[in-house]
């Protein structure tokens, strides 16, 4: 399958291609290897807990309480109301 990836720096693309050649792999195989290593090394990181963890503050405030706190905060710090 042919895939187009936008907004890749030309120099970084050359480095990526040269690394794949240095490791003796095709570009697609090397890309898959990089993604797999990224998943294994980043597993259990703080980002995984933040993005996929339990949302402890969900349902903590009602909508009216939130709006009240928001307007009070904006008044104290002289911010515009939206």
80 secondary structure, DSSP code = -
Q: What is the pLDDT along the chain (82 residues), one digit of tens a residue?
A: 677 888 889 999 999 999 999 999 999 999 999 988 888 877 766 776 777 777 776 777 788 888 888 888 888 887 666 5
**So what's the pLDDT on residue 25?**
92
- Structural domain contains residue 22: yes
53 secondary structure, DSSP code = S
10 sits in which H/E element: helix 10-22
Structure tokens belonging to residue 65: 């309480």
Tell me how many domains the chain contains. 1
- Structural domain contains residue 37: yes
- Structural domain contains residue 4: no
- Structural domain contains residue 26: yes
Write down the pTM of the prediction. Answer: 0.48
CB contact at 8 A, 30 and 23: yes
CB contact at 8 A, 19 and 30: yes
- Structural domain contains residue 55: yes
Where in the sequence is the domain holding 33, given as residue range(s)?
10-76
- Structural domain contains residue 59: yes
**So what's the pLDDT on residue 44?**
65
């Amino acid at each position: 399958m042919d895939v187009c990836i936008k907004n890749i720096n030309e120099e970084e693309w050359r480095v990526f291609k040269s690394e794949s050649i240095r490791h003796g792999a095709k570009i697609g195989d090397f890309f898959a290897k990089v993604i797999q290593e990224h998943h294994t090394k980043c597993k259990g990181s703080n980002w995984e807990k933040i993005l996929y963890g339990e949302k402890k503050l969900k349902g903590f405030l009602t909508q009216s309480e939130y709006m009240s706190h928001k307007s009070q905060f904006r008044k104290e710090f002289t911010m515009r109301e939206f």
